[in-house]
Amino acid sequence: MLKAPEFLYPPEQIKTISETVVKNLEEKLKDLVNIPAPQRNFKNTVMAFELAVSEFGEAVNIPIFLAYVSDNPALRKEAQELELKISRYCVDLFTREDVFNALNEYAAIGEKLGSVEARLLEKTLLDFKRNGLGLEPRRKNKIKKMMKELIGLELQFSANLREVNDVLEVSAQELNGLPEDYTARLKKTETGKFLITMDYPDYVPFMDCAENGEARRKLEFLFNNRCSGKNMKLMEDAIALRRKIGKTLGYASFADYMLDDRMAKNSAAVMGFLDRTWVKLKKKGRQEVRARLKLKGGGEKILHSWEWRYYNNLLKKEKYSIDHEKIKEYFPLETVINGMFEVFGEVLGVRFSPAALPTWHKDVRSYEVKNKDGSASLNNSFAVPRPFEASGKSAGAKKDGSTAAYFYFDLFPREGKYKHAACFGIRRGFELADGSYELPAAAIVSNFPSPSGGSPALLKFDDVVTLFHEFGHVTHNLLTRAKYGKFSGTSVSRDFVEVPSKMLENWAYAPEVLGRISGHYKKPEEKLPAELIKKLIAAKNMDSGLVYLRQLFFSILDMRYHTAKGKVDTTRLYDKLMRKISLIPMSPDTHPQASFGHLMGGYEAGYYGYLWAEVIAADLFSAFEEKGIMNAELGSRYRELILAPGRSYDEAGQVEKFLGRPSGEEAFLKSIGAA
């Protein structure tokens, strides 16, 4: 479909949309189920089901997306309710005996299929089996009921976080250490106090730079108690429910249930990976804690949760003479975006052209993604994208500058909007019933600091890395050529989905890239000085021990929550593991798990996937380090083998094809200074 997505949905339309789309799908499923067994074939059974489900998903995807980005509270409420209805209906859908029997009836024929089609049949049947199909009716219905209940808990948890409006009032003196553009954009009370919200553009700079330790302690206390009154119980109820689901389906734990269809396969493999990595990192982490305690002085032996970011930032300034508040002057948002488009356009063979497309808010920027004219890269352009065939080869590609996908930026905070940075897949690319290809669309929804005090929006270097990370997800979504929606874009194994995002972070540390994406906001021609670039790269691993120990803590916490045999005290376990693994204790009377949205938003028993994927990404990037990070030929190979297929093939196999060998951990350990 060459037409760009539409976002104009009045609340009353969203309220009724579930009835319409469910009715349409039910009619298609009725036709599928009623096909006589001798007349069944791949097209009228497996492909018909896949296409019906993909079109159903596309019909509700944008209305649900509006729950996270609309500035209309009434619309957000209806969209949240729609998400709940559709999620629960999908549980019904994948527990239907009649559809499952129809698919099994076709499978019993034993028709010889191409590798992608055979994989589609296998994964579709597995979806039903993982929802209890094949179990006796009582257990199947129990699973169905629990899954619906679980969806409600997860969506309420996320909705609570989106509506957080807690603030800390601070005096002008308590803002000492913060840059002028930060204080200039803060709201003030009638008494002259400044308001610090729980949004990341407020929270992170304050924890990095505020000289007043007591003010940092108060803010960290508020931040790590967000929604604790509501969300702690929701999470603990969800963990208990998941444990029952795993047990009812015959798994040792919920984690083993979730991992059965992922690269890692089981919780033992994940814990082995995490423990192995922890052993290699804890020495470096302890050295880093000691360095920060030395800077803190006073002979103290504990680096508190409200202190580590501040002393980490201070050490960067002292040891590497890096002042990130000064460095951000070289990263105006517009310069970074234009440079990023230029860099990855060159590597991947596309152009991002501003376009006046329909959007969901006046501040959203929209782009058409176009093929480069006359691009010489192998299968480089992708409009109209032709899907992968069973052979794994593209069925051809145009090089005529035509539109291939749509992209959107929603950059700054606003009330009711999603609080973090994320890539949202707005529309998947897949082959439609008439043989045409649905052009994919994706958005980066972020909360970068807004322009203030006469200065443009300026990104800290961490923001630049975040932007590159999310753009990696964008490339995965938009450069798909998967034939089937089930395998399209980021619809890969959960522990592989972060590979393209972690992959692109590496470009942010390359001198030639930093030269392209920087330019002082007062003197655009003045690039980030070579000396500062050297310091940024040198400082990359100055805190890698603490950073990755923190990531290991979250990953192990998640696995412990979801492999526990009995009731979990989420606060007590959080406290114990945080102190042991991250080397920084949890602040007294805080409940950070109440805002650990990943565990209630798709990463439950899967947080390890960030680190797992980063190990793979580091290995993939080592090929670019060897042959040149702007190597368009290698970029085309990466695009064809890693991005375009989605989940059409086994991910580990595609990585091995790209590298010429199985992936290993050496490149990752070297990249973080822990080889």
Same domain, 577 and 442: no
If asked whether residues 618 and 526 sit together in one domain, one would say: yes
pLDDT confidence band for 400 (50 / 70 / 90): low
Quick check: is 417 in a domain? Answer: yes
Same-domain status, 310 and 195? no
pLDDT digits (tens, 9 = 90+) for 188-234: 999 999 999 999 889 999 999 999 999 999 999 999 999 999 999 99
Average pLDDT value for residue range 278-306: 94
Same domain, 268 and 364: no
Write out pLDDT tens, residues 310-357. Answer: 999 999 888 888 888 899 999 999 999 999 999 999 999 999 999 999
What are the Cα distances from residue 188, in Å, to 131, 324, 427?
52, 25, 40
Residue at 157 is within a domain: no
- ∠ CA 622-625-627, rounded to 5°: 110
**Confidence at residue 2, expressed as pLDDT on a 0 to 100 scale:** 67
Indicate if the pLDDT at residue 396 is higher than 50: no
Residue pair 424/383 in contact by the 8 Å Cβ criterion: no
Looking at every residue in the chain, the average pLDDT score rounds to 93
How far, in Å, are 290, 496, 513 from residue 460 at the CA level?
A: 26, 28, 16
* 583 assigned to some structural domain: yes
As a whole number, mean pLDDT of residues 625-645 equals 96
For residue 397, the model assigns a pLDDT of 41
With b meaning 16 or more CB within 10 Å and e meaning fewer, what string describes 135-145?
beeeebeebbe
Residue 88 counted as domain residue: yes
Torsional class of 579: left (φ above 0), alpha (ψ -120 to 50), beta (otherwise): alpha
Give residue 452's pLDDT band: very low, low, confident or very high (50, 70, 90). Answer: confident
DSSP-derived pairing of the beta strands 403-410 and 441-445: parallel
Tell me whether strands 441-445 and 422-427 are parallel, antiparallel or unpaired.
antiparallel
pLDDT of residue 675: 76
- Provide the pLDDT confidence category of residue 379 given band limits of 50, 70 and 90: very low
pLDDT, residue 387, reads 53
Residue 388 pLDDT greater than 60, yes or no = no
Q: Is residue 123 domain-shared with residue 253, that is, in the same domain?
A: no
Low-confidence winner among 157-161, 224-228, 331-335, 372-376 (lowest mean pLDDT): 372-376
Task: Compute the average pLDDT of residues 119-125.
Answer: 97
- Average pLDDT (230-247) is 97
Query: Residue 372: helix, strand or coil by DSSP?
Result: coil
Distance (Å) of CA 106 to CA 27, 52, 101, 484, 604 = 20, 17, 9, 18, 34
CA triplet 672, 674, 675: central angle to 5 degrees? 110
CATH of the domain at 71: 1.20.1050.40
Q: Annotated catalytic sites, by residue? A: 470
**Which band of pLDDT confidence, cut at 50, 70 and 90, is reported for residue 644?**
very high
38 burial level (CB within 10 Å; 0-12, 13-18, 19+): exposed
The first and second tokens of residue 108, run together, are 């019993």
Asked whether residue 142 is assigned to any structural domain, the reply reads no
pLDDT of residue 394 exceeding 80, the answer is no
Please tell me whether residues 82 and 18 are part of one structural domain.
yes
Return the residue matching tokens 């980490």.
312
Q: How far apart are CA 489 and CA 645, in angstroms?
A: 7
Asked whether residue 36 is assigned to any structural domain, the reply reads yes
* Domain of residue 181, residue span: 165-223
Is the pLDDT assigned to residue 375 strictly greater than 60?
Answer: no
Residue 523 inside a domain? The answer is yes
Higher pLDDT, 371 or 85: 85
Q: Looking at the structure, tell me whether residues 482 and 629 fall in a common domain.
A: yes
- 8-state DSSP, 351: E
- Compute the CA torsion angle 308, 310, 314, 316 (nearest 10 deg): 60
The whole-angstrom separation of Cα 645 and Cα 388 is 7
Residue that is last in its domain, among 208, 223, 238:
223
pLDDT-derived band at 378, boundaries 50, 70, 90: very low
Look at residue 319 in the predicted model and tell me its pLDDT. Answer: 87
- Of the chain, the percentage scoring pLDDT greater than 70 comes to 96
Confidence label for 298 from pLDDT (cuts 50, 70 and 90): confident
- Cis (ω within 30 of 0) for the bond into 364? no
Using CA atoms, how far apart are residues 504 and 499, in angstroms rounded to an integer?
9
Binned at pLDDT 50, 70 and 90, residue 393 comes out as very low
C-alpha 375/C-alpha 346 separation (Å) is: 10
Domain count, the chain: 4
Q: What is the pLDDT of residue 662?
A: 95
Q: What is the pLDDT of residue 377?
A: 34
Q: What percent of the chain has pLDDT over 90?
A: 88
pLDDT of residue 663: 94
pTM for the structure as a whole: 0.86
Question: At CA 630, angle to CA 625 and CA 631, rounded to 5?
Answer: 80
